[in-house]
């Protein structure tokens, strides 16, 4: 085979992938990053490309926009010596070394791989929800909640994330309406009780959000709720809609090759980024459904690069 064998290929270019690039480049590993098109979108850079202001990434006294933050990650990765390829990976073969990665019809070979393909937030699927994303519709209370301080908001979902987001938002907003499609919650009892006992949270069970208005004004003014038992549809005024109906990890490429948890997230050995395949590491949201923050993703990206470097030193000392 005539293709060059790379020390490390990093798949994905969110905070995890680009931090792995920075560390791998500084360790003289000449990393190749296949950026991918963000979480189902049209641009590289991960989920932060779809957020507005980021106020919780350490080091920035003033808020920075998601795209600007990712441009800085990317610039730093490139400046340190990362080669970036803007393409989606189509296929991988991790059954033998060197590992094989195909992107845009091109085959790339690597001694180690860092998977940082991330996850995609699930949305309800309403036309106006799409139009009002980042204009009042959000899938991350920790990221966007402070922008809704003093305003009334609606949270959709019945899992731990919905409980956590509703409770978090209740610390900022005078009223939070939690809308869930069933009478029972999927969330753990302790988190449901915490939300139930919060006087600022009202629960609407067996309800669905069937529309969000007002796309013509470019902001959220109202959600249309449907009582799933009576069939009644009515309007509720609010300025923010937080959709907390789960995330989908982007792991399809690795199905049958890397071990996954029941919920589809990649398995790593506790306290490490090592997958079940020696030389393949996973970082960021693709293996984390609990913290899901840019800063934690960046932290595990750093870990993955350090582990890849150590793995190469032990297994491929040339
Ligand atoms: P989840 O447990 O999958 O819950 C998703 C919720 O969204 C469910 O209540 C589901 O309703 C609802 N839903 C799904 N699709 C919907 C749709 N199209 N329209 C309306 N509602 C819809 O997801 P999650 O809450 O994000 O939690 C993911 C994992 O992270 C879980 O394992 C959770 O325990 C964990 N987590 C843990 C913590 C913590 O411990 N601090 C915090 C957050 C998350 P149904 O119930 O009817 O299916």
Domain ranges of the chain: 5-120+247-315, 123-243
Q: Return the ∠ at Cα 167 (arms to 164 and 173), rounded to 5°.
A: 135
Strand, coil or helix: 22: helix
State residue 3's pLDDT score. Answer: 80
Averaged pLDDT for residues 246-251 = 93
Q: Which H/E stretch holds residue 128?
A: helix 127-131
Distance 185 CA to ligand 1 centre (A): 9
pLDDT of residue 215: 97
The better pLDDT of the pair 93, 292 is held by: 93
Report residue 49 as tokens.
């490309």
Res 56: pLDDT: 86
Give 5-120+247-315's CATH code, choosing from 1.10.260.40, 3.30.300.30, 3.10.20.30, 3.50.50.60. Answer: 3.50.50.60
Question: For ligand 1, is residue 194 a contact (CB within 6 Å)?
Answer: no
Residue nearest to atom 2 of ligand 1 (CA): 159
Could you tell me which residues are beta bridge partners of residue 258? none
Q: Check residue 303 and give its pLDDT.
A: 98
Averaged pLDDT, 255-271: 97
For the cut 80, the answer to whether the pLDDT of residue 51 exceeds it is no
Q: Residue range 215-234: average pLDDT?
A: 98
Q: How far is the CA of 156 from the centre of ligand 1 (A)?
A: 10
Q: In this structure, are residues 166 and 155 in contact, taking their beta carbons and an 8 Å threshold?
A: yes
Give the architecture (CATH level 2) of 123-243.
3-Layer(bba) Sandwich (3.50)
User: Which contacts qualify for 52-58: CB closer than 8 Å, 24 or more apart?
Assistant: 52/134, 52/144, 52/147, 53/147, 54/143, 54/294, 55/146, 56/142, 56/143, 56/293, 56/294, 56/295, 57/294, 57/295, 58/295
Q: How many helices (H) and strands (E) does the chain have?
A: 7, 19
Residue 30 CA to ligand 1 centre (angstroms): 39
Please tell me the residue having the least CA distance from ligand 1 atom 17: 124
Q: Whose CA is nearest to atom 29 of ligand 1?
A: 289
Mean pLDDT throughout 244-269? 96
Choose the weakest-confidence range: 30-44, 73-87, 288-302.
Answer: 30-44
């Amino acid at each position: 085979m005539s293709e060059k064998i790379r020390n490390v290929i990093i798949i994905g270019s969110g905070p995890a992938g680009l931090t792995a690039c920075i560390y791998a480049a500084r360790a003289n590993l000449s990393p190749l990053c296949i950026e991918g098109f963000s979480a189902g979108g049209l641009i590289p850079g991960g989920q932060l490309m779809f957020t507005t202001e980021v106020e919780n990434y350490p080091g920035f006294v003033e808020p920075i926009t998601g795209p600007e933050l990712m441009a800085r990650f990317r610039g730093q990765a490139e400046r340190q010596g990362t080669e970036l390829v803007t393409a989606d990976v189509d296929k991988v073969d991790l059954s033998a070394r060197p590992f094989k990665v195909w992107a845009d019809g091109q085959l790339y070979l690597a001694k180690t791989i860092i998977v940082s393909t991330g996850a995609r937030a699930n949305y309800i699927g309403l036309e106006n929800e799409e139009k009002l994303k980042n204009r009042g519709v959000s899938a991350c209370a920790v990221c966007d909640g402070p922008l809704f301080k003093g305003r009334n908001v609606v949270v959709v979902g019945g899992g731990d994330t919905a409980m956590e987001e509703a409770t978090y938002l209740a610390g900022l907003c005078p009223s939070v309406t939690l809308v869930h499609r069933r009478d029972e919650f999927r969330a753990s009892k302790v988190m449901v009780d915490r939300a139930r006992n919060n006087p600022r949270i009202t629960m609407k069970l067996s309800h669905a959000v069937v529309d969000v208005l007002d796309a013509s004004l470019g902001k959220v003014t109202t959600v249309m709720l449907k009582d799933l038992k009576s069939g009644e549809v009515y309007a509720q005024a609010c300025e923010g809609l937080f959709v907390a109906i789960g995330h989908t990890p982007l792991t399809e490429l690795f199905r049958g090759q890397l071990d996954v948890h029941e919920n589809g997230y990649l398995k790593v050995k506790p306290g490490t980024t090592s997958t079940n395949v020696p030389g393949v590491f996973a970082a960021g949201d693709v293996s984390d459904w609990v913290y899901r923050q840019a800063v934690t993703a960046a932290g595990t990206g750093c870990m993955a690069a350090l582990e890849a470097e150590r793995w190469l030193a032990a297994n491929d000392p040339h």
